[in-house]
Homo-oligomer: A and B are copies of this chain.
Protein backbone atom coordinates (compact mmCIF):
# COMPACT_ATOMS: atom_id res chain seq x y z
CA UNK A 1 0.00 0.00 0.00
CA UNK A 2 1.49 3.33 -1.14
CA UNK A 3 1.96 5.83 1.69
CA UNK A 4 1.09 9.45 0.99
CA UNK A 5 1.90 12.48 3.14
CA UNK A 6 0.55 15.19 0.85
CA UNK A 7 -2.23 15.03 -1.74
CA UNK A 8 -1.46 16.97 -4.91
CA UNK A 9 -4.41 17.66 -7.20
CA UNK A 10 -4.18 18.48 -10.90
CA UNK A 11 -6.31 21.46 -11.90
CA UNK A 12 -4.72 22.21 -15.27
CA UNK A 13 -7.52 20.62 -17.28
CA UNK A 14 -9.88 23.17 -15.77
CA UNK A 15 -7.91 26.19 -14.47
CA UNK A 16 -5.19 25.75 -17.08
CA UNK A 17 -7.35 25.30 -20.15
CA UNK A 18 -10.21 27.68 -19.41
CA UNK A 19 -8.39 30.77 -20.62
CA UNK A 20 -6.67 29.03 -23.55
CA UNK A 21 -8.25 30.04 -26.86
CA UNK A 22 -7.75 26.67 -28.59
CA UNK A 23 -9.96 23.69 -27.75
CA UNK A 24 -7.93 20.74 -26.50
CA UNK A 25 -9.38 17.66 -28.23
CA UNK A 26 -11.14 15.26 -25.85
CA UNK A 27 -8.75 12.42 -26.70
CA UNK A 28 -5.80 14.56 -25.61
CA UNK A 29 -7.53 15.46 -22.38
CA UNK A 30 -8.13 11.79 -21.66
CA UNK A 31 -4.54 10.89 -22.53
CA UNK A 32 -3.34 13.61 -20.14
CA UNK A 33 -5.63 12.38 -17.33
CA UNK A 34 -4.63 8.74 -17.83
CA UNK A 35 -0.91 9.49 -17.98
CA UNK A 36 -0.93 11.73 -14.94
CA UNK A 37 -2.98 9.25 -12.94
CA UNK A 38 -0.51 6.55 -13.97
CA UNK A 39 2.31 8.80 -12.73
CA UNK A 40 0.63 8.76 -9.32
CA UNK A 41 -1.57 11.87 -9.20
CA UNK A 42 -4.63 10.62 -7.33
CA UNK A 43 -7.06 13.51 -7.81
CA UNK A 44 -7.78 15.55 -10.95
CA UNK A 45 -10.24 18.37 -11.55
CA UNK A 46 -11.11 17.24 -15.04
CA UNK A 47 -13.53 19.92 -16.24
CA UNK A 48 -16.04 22.59 -15.31
CA UNK A 49 -19.83 22.28 -15.59
CA UNK A 50 -20.41 25.67 -17.13
CA UNK A 51 -22.50 26.29 -20.26
CA UNK A 52 -20.45 25.50 -23.38
CA UNK A 53 -21.41 28.84 -24.87
CA UNK A 54 -19.68 30.59 -21.97
CA UNK A 55 -16.49 28.49 -22.06
CA UNK A 56 -16.31 26.32 -25.22
CA UNK A 57 -13.22 24.57 -23.82
CA UNK A 58 -15.59 22.56 -21.59
CA UNK A 59 -18.08 21.57 -24.29
CA UNK A 60 -16.96 17.96 -23.76
CA UNK A 61 -17.45 18.03 -19.96
CA UNK A 62 -19.79 15.02 -19.98
CA UNK A 63 -17.52 12.79 -22.05
CA UNK A 64 -14.36 13.82 -20.20
CA UNK A 65 -16.03 13.07 -16.85
CA UNK A 66 -17.41 9.70 -17.97
CA UNK A 67 -14.06 8.55 -19.29
CA UNK A 68 -12.08 9.90 -16.34
CA UNK A 69 -14.36 7.89 -14.06
CA UNK A 70 -13.07 4.72 -15.71
CA UNK A 71 -9.48 5.42 -14.57
CA UNK A 72 -8.85 3.07 -11.67
CA UNK A 73 -8.11 4.70 -8.33
CA UNK A 74 -8.55 8.27 -9.58
CA UNK A 75 -10.65 10.78 -7.66
CA UNK A 76 -12.50 12.72 -10.37
CA UNK A 77 -13.43 16.27 -9.43
CA UNK A 78 -15.12 19.02 -11.41
CA UNK A 79 -15.77 22.70 -10.86
CA UNK A 80 -19.37 23.81 -10.36
CA UNK A 81 -20.25 27.49 -10.52
CA UNK A 82 -23.86 26.91 -9.33
CA UNK A 83 -26.57 24.30 -8.65
CA UNK A 84 -27.07 23.68 -12.39
CA UNK A 85 -23.46 22.52 -12.49
CA UNK A 86 -24.06 20.36 -9.43
CA UNK A 87 -26.98 18.66 -11.18
CA UNK A 88 -24.78 17.79 -14.13
CA UNK A 89 -22.13 16.38 -11.80
CA UNK A 90 -24.65 14.31 -9.87
CA UNK A 91 -26.06 12.86 -13.07
CA UNK A 92 -22.58 11.81 -14.12
CA UNK A 93 -21.55 10.34 -10.77
CA UNK A 94 -18.46 12.55 -10.41
CA UNK A 95 -16.59 12.02 -7.12
CA UNK A 96 -16.16 15.63 -6.06
CA UNK A 97 -18.05 18.84 -6.74
CA UNK A 98 -15.78 21.85 -6.40
CA UNK A 99 -18.00 24.83 -5.69
CA UNK A 100 -16.33 28.22 -5.75
CA UNK A 101 -17.22 31.68 -4.52
CA UNK A 102 -15.07 34.77 -3.95
CA UNK A 103 -14.35 36.26 -0.55
CA UNK A 104 -14.07 39.65 -2.20
CA UNK A 105 -17.53 41.06 -2.90
CA UNK A 106 -16.53 42.77 -6.16
CA UNK A 107 -14.87 39.65 -7.53
CA UNK A 108 -17.88 37.52 -6.65
CA UNK A 109 -20.22 39.97 -8.38
CA UNK A 110 -18.03 40.07 -11.52
CA UNK A 111 -17.38 36.34 -11.59
CA UNK A 112 -20.75 34.77 -10.76
CA UNK A 113 -23.01 37.86 -10.56
CA UNK A 114 -23.99 37.04 -7.00
CA UNK A 115 -23.76 38.71 -3.63
CA UNK A 116 -21.63 36.55 -1.35
CA UNK A 117 -24.66 35.71 0.78
CA UNK A 118 -26.43 34.42 -2.33
CA UNK A 119 -23.41 32.23 -3.07
CA UNK A 120 -23.51 30.76 0.42
CA UNK A 121 -27.23 30.08 -0.04
CA UNK A 122 -26.46 28.38 -3.39
CA UNK A 123 -23.93 26.20 -1.62
CA UNK A 124 -26.51 25.20 1.01
CA UNK A 125 -28.91 24.16 -1.74
CA UNK A 126 -26.16 22.11 -3.42
CA UNK A 127 -25.30 20.28 -0.20
CA UNK A 128 -29.01 19.52 0.32
CA UNK A 129 -29.27 18.22 -3.24
CA UNK A 130 -26.25 15.97 -2.71
CA UNK A 131 -27.52 14.64 0.61
CA UNK A 132 -30.81 13.71 -1.08
CA UNK A 133 -28.89 11.28 -3.28
CA UNK A 134 -28.85 7.60 -2.39
CA UNK A 135 -25.76 6.60 -0.40
CA UNK A 136 -22.93 5.56 -2.69
CA UNK A 137 -23.99 8.24 -5.20
CA UNK A 138 -23.08 11.17 -2.99
CA UNK A 139 -20.05 13.10 -4.19
CA UNK A 140 -17.90 15.05 -1.77
CA UNK A 141 -18.82 18.73 -1.80
CA UNK A 142 -15.95 21.20 -1.65
CA UNK A 143 -16.32 24.83 -0.62
CA UNK A 144 -13.78 26.95 -2.46
CA UNK A 145 -12.93 30.51 -1.48
CA UNK A 146 -11.42 32.56 -4.29
CA UNK A 147 -9.49 35.82 -3.78
CA UNK A 148 -8.91 34.76 -0.15
CA UNK A 149 -5.42 36.29 -0.18
CA UNK A 150 -6.04 39.33 -2.29
CA UNK A 151 -8.28 40.62 -5.05
CA UNK A 152 -7.40 42.31 -8.31
CA UNK A 153 -10.35 44.69 -7.80
CA UNK A 154 -10.21 45.34 -4.07
CA UNK A 155 -6.57 44.67 -3.17
CA UNK A 156 -6.15 43.27 0.36
CA UNK A 157 -8.98 41.06 1.63
CA UNK A 158 -9.75 41.06 5.38
CA UNK A 159 -8.74 37.84 7.16
CA UNK A 160 -12.00 38.05 9.12
CA UNK A 161 -13.95 37.74 5.86
CA UNK A 162 -12.00 34.63 4.85
CA UNK A 163 -12.68 33.03 8.22
CA UNK A 164 -16.35 34.05 8.11
CA UNK A 165 -17.05 32.52 4.68
CA UNK A 166 -14.98 29.43 5.47
CA UNK A 167 -17.10 28.87 8.57
CA UNK A 168 -20.33 29.53 6.65
CA UNK A 169 -19.42 26.97 3.97
CA UNK A 170 -18.31 24.49 6.63
CA UNK A 171 -21.55 24.92 8.55
CA UNK A 172 -23.44 24.50 5.29
CA UNK A 173 -21.93 21.03 5.05
CA UNK A 174 -18.69 21.27 3.05
CA UNK A 175 -16.52 18.14 3.14
CA UNK A 176 -13.43 20.26 2.48
CA UNK A 177 -12.55 23.95 2.28
CA UNK A 178 -10.19 25.30 -0.38
CA UNK A 179 -8.52 28.63 0.29
CA UNK A 180 -7.38 30.17 -2.99
CA UNK A 181 -4.93 32.92 -3.89
CA UNK A 182 -6.65 33.45 -7.22
CA UNK A 183 -4.48 36.32 -8.41
CA UNK A 184 -1.12 35.40 -6.87
CA UNK A 185 -0.87 38.14 -4.22
CA UNK A 186 0.13 36.01 -1.23
CA UNK A 187 3.38 35.86 0.68
CA UNK A 188 4.46 33.30 3.30
CA UNK A 189 3.68 35.52 6.26
CA UNK A 190 0.16 36.18 4.98
CA UNK A 191 -0.30 32.46 4.34
CA UNK A 192 0.57 31.74 7.96
CA UNK A 193 -1.88 34.37 9.17
CA UNK A 194 -4.81 33.37 6.97
CA UNK A 195 -4.48 29.60 7.17
CA UNK A 196 -3.91 29.56 10.93
CA UNK A 197 -6.98 31.76 11.42
CA UNK A 198 -9.15 29.57 9.19
CA UNK A 199 -7.86 26.27 10.58
CA UNK A 200 -8.45 27.44 14.16
CA UNK A 201 -12.16 27.66 13.32
CA UNK A 202 -12.55 24.59 11.13
CA UNK A 203 -11.31 21.92 13.52
CA UNK A 204 -10.73 18.61 11.76
CA UNK A 205 -12.35 19.61 8.45
CA UNK A 206 -9.81 19.12 5.64
CA UNK A 207 -8.40 22.32 4.20
CA UNK A 208 -6.63 22.68 0.88
CA UNK A 209 -4.60 25.48 -0.65
CA UNK A 210 -4.88 26.70 -4.20
CA UNK A 211 -2.03 29.11 -4.92
CA UNK A 212 -0.99 30.88 -8.08
CA UNK A 213 2.63 31.60 -8.87
CA UNK A 214 1.95 34.92 -10.54
CA UNK A 215 4.63 36.79 -8.61
CA UNK A 216 7.10 33.99 -7.93
CA UNK A 217 6.03 33.29 -4.36
CA UNK A 218 4.02 30.14 -5.12
CA UNK A 219 6.30 27.47 -3.69
CA UNK A 220 7.27 29.67 -0.75
CA UNK A 221 3.56 29.90 0.04
CA UNK A 222 3.21 26.12 -0.26
CA UNK A 223 6.05 25.70 2.22
CA UNK A 224 4.37 28.13 4.62
CA UNK A 225 1.06 26.26 4.30
CA UNK A 226 2.87 22.97 4.97
CA UNK A 227 4.14 24.50 8.21
CA UNK A 228 0.53 25.33 9.11
CA UNK A 229 -0.43 21.69 8.59
CA UNK A 230 -2.06 21.92 5.14
CA UNK A 231 -1.61 18.64 3.24
CA UNK A 232 -3.73 19.16 0.08
CA UNK A 233 -2.56 21.36 -2.76
CA UNK A 234 -3.82 22.30 -6.21
CA UNK A 235 -1.33 22.67 -9.04
CA UNK A 236 -1.18 22.28 -12.79
CA UNK A 237 1.27 20.42 -14.93
CA UNK A 238 3.82 22.86 -16.41
CA UNK A 239 2.05 25.65 -14.51
CA UNK A 240 -0.61 25.94 -17.18
CA UNK A 241 -3.05 28.67 -16.43
CA UNK A 242 -1.64 32.12 -16.79
CA UNK A 243 -3.55 35.02 -15.43
CA UNK A 244 -6.01 36.94 -17.58
CA UNK A 245 -4.90 40.13 -15.82
CA UNK A 246 -1.18 39.60 -16.47
CA UNK A 247 -0.25 38.37 -19.95
CA UNK A 248 2.77 36.07 -19.88
CA UNK A 249 2.59 35.61 -16.14
CA UNK A 250 2.64 32.05 -14.95
CA UNK A 251 -0.55 30.95 -13.32
CA UNK A 252 -0.95 27.88 -11.21
CA UNK A 253 1.71 26.26 -9.10
CA UNK A 254 3.84 24.07 -11.39
CA UNK A 255 2.81 20.51 -10.46
CA UNK A 256 6.22 19.08 -11.41
CA UNK A 257 8.14 21.60 -9.28
CA UNK A 258 5.66 21.17 -6.42
CA UNK A 259 6.09 17.39 -6.38
CA UNK A 260 9.87 17.81 -6.46
CA UNK A 261 9.91 20.29 -3.59
CA UNK A 262 7.58 18.22 -1.42
CA UNK A 263 9.54 15.05 -2.10
CA UNK A 264 12.79 16.88 -1.29
CA UNK A 265 11.24 17.96 2.00
CA UNK A 266 10.66 14.31 2.81
CA UNK A 267 6.92 14.47 2.12
CA UNK A 268 5.65 11.62 -0.03
CA UNK A 269 3.20 12.57 -2.77
CA UNK A 270 2.91 9.16 -4.42
CA UNK A 271 3.97 10.77 -7.70
CA UNK A 272 6.78 9.39 -9.84
CA UNK A 273 8.71 12.54 -10.85
CA UNK A 274 10.19 11.12 -14.06
CA UNK A 275 6.83 9.82 -15.26
CA UNK A 276 5.17 13.10 -14.36
CA UNK A 277 7.69 15.05 -16.43
CA UNK A 278 6.93 12.79 -19.40
CA UNK A 279 3.26 13.87 -19.29
CA UNK A 280 4.38 17.36 -20.36
CA UNK A 281 5.01 16.09 -23.88
CA UNK A 282 1.36 14.97 -24.20
CA UNK A 283 0.20 18.49 -23.37
CA UNK A 284 2.81 20.10 -25.59
CA UNK A 285 1.89 17.89 -28.55
CA UNK A 286 -1.80 18.71 -28.13
CA UNK A 287 -1.35 22.46 -27.69
CA UNK A 288 2.04 23.41 -29.17
CA UNK A 289 1.41 27.13 -28.61
CA UNK A 290 0.58 26.93 -24.89
CA UNK A 291 3.25 28.40 -22.62
CA UNK A 292 4.75 25.74 -20.37
CA UNK A 293 6.61 26.55 -17.17
CA UNK A 294 8.71 24.53 -14.78
CA UNK A 295 12.22 24.59 -13.40
CA UNK A 296 12.60 20.85 -12.80
CA UNK A 297 11.81 20.10 -16.44
CA UNK A 298 14.73 22.31 -17.49
CA UNK A 299 17.22 21.42 -14.78
CA UNK A 300 16.45 17.78 -14.08
CA UNK A 301 16.73 16.01 -10.75
CA UNK A 302 19.76 16.62 -8.53
CA UNK A 303 22.58 14.12 -8.88
CA UNK A 304 22.15 10.97 -6.76
CA UNK A 305 18.69 12.17 -5.80
CA UNK A 306 17.13 9.96 -3.13
CA UNK A 307 13.34 9.93 -3.13
CA UNK A 308 11.39 10.58 0.06
CA UNK A 309 10.03 7.04 0.20
CA UNK A 310 13.52 5.58 -0.25
CA UNK A 311 14.82 7.82 2.54
CA UNK A 312 11.98 6.63 4.80
CA UNK A 313 12.78 3.04 3.99
CA UNK A 314 16.52 3.49 4.62
Q: Which residues of A contact B (CB under 8 A)?
A: 150-156, 183-190, 213-217, 219-220, 222-224, 226, 243, 246-250, 254, 257, 260-261, 264-266, 294-296, 298-300, 302-306
Contacts and interface: CB of A to CB of B under 8 A. Distances in A.
A139 B257 CA distance: 40
A246 B302 CA distance: 11
A219 B150 CA distance: 20
Given A223-B220, A261-B187, A302-B185, A215 B266 contact: no
Given A155-B304, A183-B302, A302-B185, A295 B215 contact: yes
Contacts of A302: 150, 152, 155, 183, 185, 215
B246 A299 contact: yes
Contacts of A222: 220
Contact of A254 (B188, B216, B219, B266): B216
Copies per complex? 2
A222 B215 CA distance: 15
Contact of A298 (B224, B246, B264, B300): B246
A153 B304 CA distance: 9
Contacts of A261: 187-188, 215-217, 220
Contact of A156 (B151, B187, B306): B306
Contacts of A217: 219, 257, 260-261, 264
Contacts of A296: 215-216
B184 A299 contact: yes
Given A185-B302, A265-B187, A295 B214 contact: yes
Nearest to A150: B302
15 contacts: A153-B303, A155-B304, A155-B305, A184-B299, A186-B264, A188-B226, A215-B261, A215-B299, A216-B261, A216-B296, A219-B219, A246-B298, A249-B298, A250-B295, A250-B298
A117 to B, nearest CB: 24
Contacts of A219: 216-217, 219-220
A265 B189 contact: yes
Max count, chain B CB within 10 A of own CB: residue among A150, A190, A302, A306: A302
Contacts of A298: 246-250
Contacts of A294: 216
Contact of A152 (B155, B247, B303): B303
A249 B155 contact: no
Given A260-B215, A265-B189, A243 B299 contact: yes
A215 B265 CA distance: 13
Given A185-B302, A188-B226, A220-B261, 12 more contacts: A150-B303, A152-B302, A155-B305, A183-B302, A189-B265, A190-B264, A215-B299, A216-B257, A216-B260, A216-B261, A243-B299, A246-B299
Nearest to A151: B303
A188 B223 contact: yes
B155 A189 contact: no
A295 B150 contact: no
